[in-house]
Amino acid sequence: MRAYLDHNATSPLRPSVKAAMIAAMDVGGNASSVHGEGRAARKLLGDAREKLGFWFGCLPQMIIFTSGGTEANNMALRGVSVERILVSAVEHHSVLAAAKASGKRVEIIPVDKFGRVEISLLEKMLAGPKALVSVMIANNETGVIQPIDKIAALVHTAGSLLHVDAVQAVGKRQVNFGLLGVDMMTAAAHKVGGPTGIGALIIRDGLVVEPLLQGGGQELRRRAGTENLVNIAGFAALADEPQLDTYELTDRLGAALEDVTIFSDGVERLCNTTNFATPGMNAETLLMNFDLEGVALSSGSACSSGKVAASHVLSAMGVSAELSKAAIRISLGWNTSDEDINHFISAWRKISKRHQSKAA
């Protein structure tokens, strides 16, 4: 058998999502057209926006559909009129790159050894010109949860703006735009069983964000281009699914990992994410060994052209280079079973035993 445990990269399509997408394929009109077929497409679009608005805790018109989280992050960081941008040291590459491409002054917010934003340092950094602060709700590598409520209070007291990247959090914990008290929020579908290539930027009423794409008048003139109705229907179908709950499976998996370092252990993390390392091991070799044993995982670091690179997240947490290069991320999903966990544990014991024999 094979066990797919890389849901933080992309989670397989849920049956309900697939069904909604297939049904949407029969709607052949363009939502911008005035004829009957266009009205049918526009109704599908409006219904999806309303359903997602209820799920995200925002007004439907606050939602701008994008091609995914990366586009939404770029729109948020490059489209707001501020003098500087503050991003945490553990943000996704799409946030870090978008901040750099904005042409504005970029300042990096330090994190503690668990990967959480240093609140006292952020407060000091907020003194000065108006800033846009960008902090993810949950980290894609470690799963650590940021104290968004405290961050939002500080940012708004200082007269600045707050954007949160909620891509890894959506569907895995409650994500309510109104309760978070933020100015912008990025969401995407494919981390919890939705389609790839669809995301959203949610913008509070009254905040002006310049569009990245110019052209037609779609999305209230905030994002040009014919809407991807099929993927939008799949995105909206996620709103009917239960919140992911894999705490028990994650605990059982963690209990089987002896003599390892689990990053951000002891603080609040996503229910599905475990990032661990064993000194002396190599992540690239481990990934190949797990794949041969029928287990799909990823490194805790970003991959480029098939190479496992150093993790900027673990580096920011003060993790040594030796331990960082051995980091492996396990991420569970909606279809993870007891059998998957048993298969992983069996594979890990084989690989670990071979490593110990070589070391001896």
Amino acid at 119: I
- pTM here is 0.95
| Beta-bridge partner residues of 134 | 87, 163
User: With bands split at pLDDT 50, 70 and 90, how would you rate the model's confidence at 196?
Assistant: very high
pLDDT at 113 over 70: yes
pLDDT in the model for residue 224: 85
Specify the pLDDT at position 359: 67
Convert the pLDDT of each residue in 263-306 to its tens digit: 999 999 999 999 999 988 999 999 999 999 999 999 865 444 35
Portion of the chain with pLDDT greater than 70, in percent: 97
Structural domains of the chain sorted by starting position, each given as residue range(s) with its CATH number in brackets: 3-11+243-359 (3.90.1150.10), 15-39+49-240 (3.40.640.10)
Q: pLDDT (tens digit, 9 = 90+) per residue, 74-107? A: 999 999 999 999 999 999 999 999 999 999 999 9
Q: What is the mean pLDDT of the chain?
A: 94
User: What pLDDT does 303 receive?
Assistant: 47
16 or 221: which carries more pLDDT confidence?
16
pLDDT of residue 305: 39
Secondary structure of the chain in HEC code, one letter for each residue: CCEECECCCCCCCCHHHHHHHHHHCCCCCCCCCCCHHHHHHHHHHHHHHHHHHHHHCCCHHHEEEECCHHHHHHHHHHCCCCCEEEEECCCCHHHHHHHHHCCCEEEEECECCCCCECHHHHHHHCCCCCEEEEEECECCCCCEECCHHHHHHHHHHCCCEEEEECCCCECCECCCHHHHCCCEEEEECCCCCCCCCCEEEEECCCCCCCCCCCCCCHHHHCCCCCCCHHHHHHHHHHHHCCCCCCHHHHHHHHHHCCCCEECCCCCCECCCEEEEECCCCCHHHHHHHHHHCCEECEECCCEECCEECCCHHHHHCCCCHHHHCCCEEEECCCCCCHHHHHHHHHHHHHHHHHHHHHHC
Looking at per-residue pLDDT, the higher value among 34 and 304 belongs to: 34
Does 67 or 303 have the greater pLDDT score?
67
Q: What is the CA radius of gyration of the chain?
A: 21
Report whether pLDDT(355) > 80.
no
pLDDT at 304: 45
* Residues labelled as active-site residues: 303
Tens of pLDDT, residues 118-129: 999 999 999 999
